[in-house]
A and B are shown apart, each in its own frame.
Chain A
């Protein structure tokens, strides 16, 4: 019964087999029962007809010679046929010639009789069959014989047959069930194995398992072998994928290492170049300075040439400084410590003011801006941002520079704001690339390295730097610093 309610294929197969065999057996049972009843009845009618014919033949002389006794003695032979209850021989005019009845009290009414021209016939009334047959001799009708049979014997044998058949049916059913449970595994075992394997594959992502092959070579075997083949292919693909991934990873590592080495080399190279350029440049600068100071009798055009030489060497020195700063920004290790940015900003602005007397700039510095960062590098950042602000406000009447901070969800955002020349926001992404300048050298002099340096330093601190501006309305540079400073 556990299998009967089970939603599994085994349960379905059991139910199917039980229903199919049960239906077939029941159909066969009723068909045979009906056929048996029919043949039993036909047999009874056949035997009654034969007996009537015999009685008729034996009654010929009795009828011809009017011997009722002889006719009755013929009829009394009916006692040998237990199903015959009553028999009668009639004259052609319907008068009763001889009669037999098993039970003397039985006096059945003759409601049916042969129609003219009918040689024989039968009538079934309830449990009784009445059969009539004409008695003829040499083509002449001498009379007729009627037999009344009781069919309870028929019913009895039908019942016996029915019971016997029911027992056979139950036996067959039980055997069918046994055979079902024996053969069910032929179908369900491979399916169950397949389902379990599929479950393992989808749950554990283990493509190395295989479903067990059934011994037969039917559709189930095909299904199982296809499934296994599919697993094989997936496994193959997985392996290939793993292989190419590891190759890729290795390649990335190699490239990264190569790039890092190349980068380091390049940085060391540019640092040493910048550093080594400084000495000769200093000489040129010094000589130009001396020439300017010592040569009194020079033509004005020579004096101008020497001035340009001096100016050029100064610019180159500044560029070399900036390049060295940039190099340092990427290569020097970070030394984090608490830094007072407000104080640093004040100092820088004070120095800028000191370098350029006569300029009036309104400087606002928010107090208490502190951060844990590399003091030297952050000084470079502020120097760049405040220096830019100082530079780009040089042509504004009422110049104003502000250093401030605001607390946002991500942490502290510092900013440097000016009301100077500003820039076109469409080029904002170019601001932090090296040697990219949004203003001409003649308008605002510069090397194009400062913001790149600031960007690298902020990036090394794990922060972000960005700018907002509109042309002619000044610019604001924002930056953040991640407090813990895990970045290298």
Chain B
């Protein structure tokens, strides 16, 4: 049993019997990084970092830092950045747009558009606004939906494994080069 328990500790996501909503979302944010890549993007350089940014007022808190602590994705160290302005997002790999942004979300997305940044939020109409992944609830499980059209407008590619567990996928298969 001890070993199993150690494994649980290592995986982190299920460290507690009943994780809170934002603890789950933090883990998802971190794990999205493992199922995305940039087509034609530069190869991962050692020493470079993988930035997970939180735009706007942070609802996640320490849970994000705890999950990202001492972790790496594709050999890049994971950093958690909290940014106040969408213009700072071009350095990020994943941007979580706080639901508190409200009406500013459309504007934020417009600023971020054109960069290869995965946009995630739990705002209710995030996909309609042109966001890529939106958290939602199914029963008391945290799930997510994907706007594939928005993803396809960038050089980002989401793994089919990830898409398989999405609640819904908006848009068709990518038309551009893979």
Contact = CB atoms under 8 A, between A and B. Distances in A.
Given A61-B35, A138-B34, A92 B165 contact: no
Interface in B9-40: 10-11, 13-14, 24, 27-28, 31, 34-35
Assign chain B's interface to a size class: 20 to 34
A92 B11 contact: yes
Nearest to A62: B165
A117 B165 contact: no
Contact of A65 (B8, B10, B11, B31): B31
A66 B161 CA distance: 13
A64 B8 CA distance: 13
A291 to B, nearest CB: 171
A92 B7 contact: yes
A116 interface: yes
Interface in A84-111: 91-94
A93 B14 contact: yes
B104 to A, nearest CB: 28
Contacts of A70: 164-165
A205 interface: no
A257 to B, nearest CB: 129
A140 B11 contact: yes
A140 B165 CA distance: 19
A62 B143 CA distance: 11
A138 B159 CA distance: 15
Contacts of B50: none
A67 B14 contact: no
B4 to A, nearest CB: 6
Contact of B142 (A58, A66, A138): A66
20 contacts: A60-B161, A64-B28, A64-B31, A64-B165, A65-B28, A65-B31, A65-B143, A65-B144, A66-B24, A92-B4, A92-B7, A92-B8, A92-B14, A93-B14, A94-B4, A117-B3, A138-B34, A141-B7, A141-B11, A142-B11
Interface of A: 58, 60-62, 64-67, 70, 91-94, 116-117, 137-138, 140-142
Given A65-B144, A70-B165, 10 more contacts: A64-B13, A64-B31, A65-B165, A66-B142, A91-B14, A92-B8, A92-B14, A94-B4, A141-B10, A142-B11
Interface of B: 2-5, 7-8, 10-11, 13-14, 24, 27-28, 31, 34-35, 141-144, 159, 161-162, 164-165
Closest 4 CB pairs of A and B: A116-B3, A67-B165, A61-B161, A141-B7
